[in-house]
Structure 1
Amino acid sequence: MSTLAAVLVVLAAALHVGFFVMESLLFTRPPVRRRFGLSAADAEVVRPMAYNQGFYNLFLAVGAVVGVVTSSVPVAAFACAVMAGAAVVLVTTDRKFLPAAAVQGVPPLLALVLLAA
């Protein structure tokens, strides 16, 4: 695994740890819920689903880091492929999510390209 690929995998993992923190720990705080475009009442309704989704993001991040630490290209590639796939799903939900999908998907996609090379 090249150094640049490893850096991109770790960057993607760090972003997903950030998503975990927002979705599972800070979701109903005003700055976070506004980032998701939700009112206080809507954030309370969505909170259980966001909590669960945050842990998915954390587990993906752990998988990506395990791939780097163990020099396992298949593990790192799998984690990055899932991250990139989730970004595609996000943008197909609504085009307004394109910026968020780019933040979520570009680092793991670039990592995948380098891991494949």
Structure 2
Amino acid sequence: MTIIAVVLAALAALLHVYIWVLESYRWTEPATRKTFGISEADAEITRPLAYNQGFYNLFLAIVTAVGLLLLGGNHDVGTALALAGTASMLAAALVLVTHDRSKARAAVTQGLFPALAVVFLLIQL
């Protein structure tokens, strides 16, 4: 079960690194605006907020990745960090969908790998 948990958590971390790139560096690009459903004018106004939010996603990915790296040497600490990162990703997805039901697709995209990772990380305890 550990290999499944590692793969899912790694995919979650990689997805959140990608979200970091989109939010922090490509926010005003047409493809990114289309992905997030935001106008050019709104993208310019919200750029500082998106930049900051992107780094939150990066930090969650880093916590998860460090946890995965530690799984072999210090299993308990690695699991705790991987769970902290992926559970926070999942919580953010839940906040997104409970705040705005029209964001359900984005919440599933953002939260599916973390949700599965949390399940398999807990199973392998």
Short-chain TM bin: over 0.9
In structure 2, runs of 5+ residues without a counterpart are 72-77
Give 1:96 deviation, angstroms. 1.1
| TM-score calculated relative to the size of structure 2 | 0.91
The one-letter amino acid paired with 1:10 is A
Residue 85 (str. 1) matches residue 86 (str. 2): no
What secondary structure sits across from 1:28 in the alignment?
A: coil
33-42 or 57-66: bigger deviation: 33-42
Residue 116 (str. 1) matches residue 122 (str. 2): yes
CA–CA separation in structure 1 for the residues paired with 2:101 and 2:57 = 21
Give 1:40 deviation, angstroms. 0.8
In structure 1, runs of 5+ residues without a counterpart are none
Aligned-residue Cα RMSD (Å) equals: 0.9
What secondary structure sits across from 1:85 in the alignment?
A: helix
- Partner of residue 74, structure 2: none
Give 1:19 deviation, angstroms. 0.3
CA–CA separation in structure 2 for the residues paired with 1:116 and 1:36 = 32
The one-letter amino acid paired with 1:91 is V
Out of 103, 106, 117, the residue aligned to residue 100 of structure 1 is 106
- Partner of residue 24, structure 2: 24
CA–CA separation in structure 2 for the residues paired with 1:116 and 1:38 = 37
The one-letter amino acid paired with 1:88 is L
- Partner of residue 49, structure 1: 49
- Partner of residue 67, structure 1: 67
CA–CA separation in structure 1 for the residues paired with 2:2 and 2:39 = 44
CA–CA separation in structure 1 for the residues paired with 2:114 and 2:41 = 33
- Partner of residue 33, structure 1: 33
CA–CA separation in structure 1 for the residues paired with 2:114 and 2:30 = 29
